[in-house]
Amino acid sequence: MLAAATLLALVACGHAVEQSALHPAGPQARKVSDLWWFALIVSTVVYVVTIGALLWAAWRARRREHAGAPLPPDSERRMTRAVAAGVGATVALLLVFFVYDLSVGRTLSPPPGGDPLTINVIGHQWWWEVQYPDTTPHGRFTTANEIHVPVGRPVVLLLTSTDVIHSIWVPNLAGKKDLIPGYTQSVWFQADTAGVYRGQCAEFCGHQHAKMALVVVAEPPAEFQRWLAQSRQPALPPTDSVTRRGQEVFLTGPCVMCHAIDGTPAGSNVGPNLTHLASRRTLGAGTLPNTRGHLAGWIVDPQRVKPGVWMPPNQLAPRDLEALLTYLQSLK
């Protein structure tokens, strides 16, 4: 009881970052959250009754012995009845839970009706590639570690991986699903309230499993459409000498070996696509806020932030680094 009370008190605490199964922001997570509260209450009652019976039995037996009293004559029958009642109650409660669970499963598992938005998510060690497909080539684009979705419209994520198994989990929106190389799975959710929901990889995937996060940005449809239109554009060409120098550093240095910037010759997809890097909220897959200082630190020595990450350290002349930073920050 005390434990349950503590639990209630603790889960009620708010958090700076939205990453909780108990603060549902969509129908998927809400149904599960309801199921959880139901199960918690029933379990607490069951637990209290069971442990109460145990303590009561011990207390009774002790008192009987102190009093030197014999067992009631019908004790065998009483015990049989009590155990049978306990088993019966267990079976009944489990049945109720099972039926409730199946009904939740039934409402959640079929693909959503309406006109769902489909997004491909590809797991990499240790970042998320996010592709927005489109019927026309110029409507498609690729980004990373940030998924924008319109509020109130179901979203289907098609999931796969290019290396090891990952698992996508944005608890405020839906349960997790594995990204398995060679398989494509789907998961769907819908955000009912605008907000930024964090998620992270849930299947152990190597060194930086801990820092493989992503954010889902749920925004009103109009805002989402604006974001979509902007994301479809290639990167703007550099406009001044500093950004020109920065682009040169990017294209002639090691960066281009792994990263793509649409609209430039850089087309590798080993690492995240950087076309609109400056408009993203985080660096290093949800690890650092996207500021100039963090960007500099990340480029120079990513191993310090995420030891074991595939991105190598980069020794750049101070002026080149400044120019590169300015250029990357211009990629809105």
Partner 1 sequence: MTHAREVVALPATDHEDDELAALRRSWRPRHRGLWGWLTAVDHKSIATRYVATAFLWFLLGGLNAALMRLQLARPENGLVGPDRYNQLFTVHGTAMMFLFAVPVMTAVGLYLVPLMIGTRDVAFPRLNAFGYWVFLIGGVFLFVSFYLNTGPDTGWFAYVPLSGPEYAPGKRVDVWAQLVTFTEIAGLVAAVEIIVTVFKQRAPGMSLNRIPLYVWAILVVSFMIVFAMPAVAMASTMMLAMDRLVATHFFNQAEGGDPLLWQHLFWFFGHPEVYIMFIPGLGFVSSIVETFTGRRVFGYPVMVLSLFITGFVGFGLWVHHMFATPIPQLGRSFFTAASVLIAIPTGTQIFCWIATIWAGRPRFTTAMLFAIGFIVVFVIGGVTGVMIASVPFDLQVHDTFFIVAHFHYVILGGVVFPLFGAFYLWFPKVTGRMLDETLGKWHFWLFFVGVNVTFFPMHILGLNGMPRRVYTYLPEMGWGDLNLLATVGAGVIAASVAVFLVNVVRSAWRGALAGPDPWGGPTLEWATASPPPPWNFRHIPVVESGSPLWSAEAELPVATGLRTDRREFLVTTVLDAVPDNRHEHPTETIWPFVMALAIGVTFIGAVFTPWAYVVGFAFATVAFAGWAWPRGTKPEERVHPGLAREAR
Tell me which residues in 287-306 interact with partner 1 (CB under 8 A): 287
Q: How many CB atoms lie within 10 A of CB 50?
A: 12
| Segment interacting with partner 1, rule: CB under 8 A, options 99-107, 150-158, 240-248, 249-257 | 99-107
| Segment interacting with partner 1, rule: CB under 8 A, options 137-145, 176-184, 240-248, 262-270 | 176-184
Is 104 a binding residue for partner 1 by CB under 8 A? The answer is yes
Strand order in the sheet with 195-200: 146-150, 213-219, 195-200
Please, what is the minimum distance in Å from the beta carbon of residue 146 to partner 1?
A: 16
Site string for partner 1, 24-53 (x = CB under 8 A): -----x-xx--xx--x---x--xx--xx-x
Site for partner 1 in 113-132 (CB under 8 A): 125
Please, what is the minimum distance in Å from the beta carbon of residue 203 to partner 1?
A: 6
Is 92 a binding residue for partner 1 by CB under 8 A? The answer is no
Site for partner 1 in 185-214 (CB under 8 A): 185, 198, 200-211
Please, what is the minimum distance in Å from the beta carbon of residue 77 to partner 1?
A: 11
Is 160 a binding residue for partner 1 by CB under 8 A? The answer is no
Q: Could you say which of 112, 116, 152, 175 contacts partner 1 (CB under 8 A)?
A: 175
Q: Could you say which of 1, 5, 41, 75 contacts partner 1 (CB under 8 A)?
A: 75
Please, what is the minimum distance in Å from the beta carbon of residue 301 to partner 1?
A: 14
Site for partner 1 in 237-266 (CB under 8 A): none
Q: For residue 148, what are the β-bridge partners?
A: 217
Please, what is the minimum distance in Å from the beta carbon of residue 262 to partner 1?
A: 30
Using CB under 8 A as the binding criterion, the count of chain residues that bind partner 1 stands at 84
Is 91 a binding residue for partner 1 by CB under 8 A? The answer is yes
Please, what is the minimum distance in Å from the beta carbon of residue 47 to partner 1?
A: 6
HEC string for the chain: CHHHHHHHHHHCCCCCCCCCCCCCCCHHHHHHHHHHHHHHHHHHHHHHHHHHHHHHHHHHHHHHHHHCCCCCCCHHHHHHHHHHHHHHHHHHHHHHHHHHHHHHHHHHCCCCCCCCEEEEEEEECCEEEEEECCCCHHHCEEEECEEEEECCCCEEEEEEECCCCEEECCCCCCCCEEECECCCEEEEECCCCCEEEEEECCCCCCCCHHHCEEEEEEECHHHHHHHHHHHHCCCCCCCCHHHHHHHHHHHHCCHHHHCECCCCCCECCCCCCCCCHHHCCEECCCCEECCHHHHHHHHHCHHHHCCCCCCCCCCCCHHHHHHHHHHHHCCC
Is 60 a binding residue for partner 1 by CB under 8 A? The answer is yes
Nearest of 126, 124, 165 to residue 306 by alpha carbon: 126
Q: How many CB atoms lie within 10 A of CB 321?
A: 18
Is 156 a binding residue for partner 1 by CB under 8 A? The answer is no
Residue 101 vs 240, nearer CB to partner 1: 101
Please, what is the minimum distance in Å from the beta carbon of residue 261 to partner 1?
A: 28
Whole-number Å distance between alpha carbons of 202 and 212: 9
Is 308 a binding residue for partner 1 by CB under 8 A? The answer is yes
Residue 253 vs 297, nearer CB to partner 1: 297
Is 12 a binding residue for partner 1 by CB under 8 A? The answer is no
